[in-house]
Amino acid sequence: MKLNKNFIPHITDDESLLAATADAPFSGVIRGNKTTGLIFQLLTHDTDRDTVVAELHSRFDAPEGKIEADVDKIIAQLRKIGALDE
């Protein structure tokens, strides 16, 4: 899976945005934190859920299951708005 070409990520130090282009099936902007930005970055290339989870585990010290739950939630939201090509 990867981000659909009609969604453009913009990532800063503190905030991440995913903007829909005029051709996207969704109209608007998704806002997130640093972790969300890293997920957006990882999804700019073809990847899978387990790879995203493993990369976040390598960068963040979080309670067991927290990263998995966050990744699942973000992926579900991206699917809902048509932002993922699978």
Q: Look up residue 51 and give its amino acid.
A: T
Q: For the segment 15-68, what is each residue's pLDDT rounded down to a tens digit?
A: 999 999 999 999 999 999 989 999 999 999 999 999 999 999 999 998 879 999
Let me know if 5 is exposed, middle or buried by CB neighbors in 10 A (0-12, 13-18, 19+): exposed
Nearest to 84 by CA among 35, 27, 52, 46: 46
Q: For the segment 59-85, what is each residue's pLDDT rounded down to a tens digit?
A: 999 887 999 999 999 999 999 999 999
Going from N- to C-terminal start, the domains of the chain cover 2-85
Instruction: Please tell me the pTM assigned to this model.
Output: 0.91
CATH of domain 2-85: 1.10.10
| Residue 50 neighbours by CB under 8 Å, 6+ apart | none
